[in-house]
Amino acid sequence: MSHFHAVAWIDQSEARIFHFSAEAAEKLVLHAHHKGGQHKSHSDGVDHEGEVEAQKYFHSIAEALATSGEILITGPGGAKTALLKHLARHDPSTMQRVVGVESSDHPTDGQVLDHARHYFAGADHKTSQKV
């Protein structure tokens, strides 16, 4: 089933993605692949392994959002900003469909979906008023 709207709740270790309509929703959970133990920094002071893993994580999220018409991104920390930077650099067509970015704590799945439905109902109503 294909839905026009999507919401992605994201933090540094997990992304919960919902493709939804007013009546139905599909959920996908993606996990960041953190290597066990400590990362070793190279002589330049950068954790290259960690950066590669983060890019894989963001790429998998971008793939999951690729068919969405409008996207809301939400979450508690900097992962949502890092995702936006990844989309701008590697997947600009998906980036263009991001209509909102909001901070949120750790809501339940139901709370994420309820908020997104409310968010898009308001946005859709404003759009229809302009016609």
What CATH number is attached to the domain comprising 69?
3.30.420.60
pTM of the model: 0.82
Tell me if 67 is assigned to some domain.
yes
Per DSSP, what are the bridge partners of residue 74? 9, 102
Which pLDDT tens digit goes with each residue over 32-48? 976 554 444 445 555 55
- Of 26, 19, 94, 81, give the one whose Cα is nearest residue 54: 81
Tell me if 36 is assigned to some domain.
no
Query: Which segments of the chain does DSSP mark as H helices, in order?
Result: 48-65, 79-90, 92-95, 109-130
Q: How many domains does the chain have?
A: 1
Tell me if 42 is assigned to some domain.
no
Which pLDDT tens digit goes with each residue over 73-91? 999 999 999 999 999 999 9
Assign 107 a pLDDT band (cuts: 50, 70, 90).
very high
Tell me if 40 is assigned to some domain.
no
Whether the per-residue pLDDT at 113 is higher than 60: the answer is: yes
Assign 119 a pLDDT band (cuts: 50, 70, 90).
very high
Q: What is the pLDDT of residue 2?
A: 66
Task: Report yes or no: 61 and 33 within 8 Å, Cβ to Cβ.
Answer: no
Which pLDDT tens digit goes with each residue over 16-30? 999 999 889 999 999
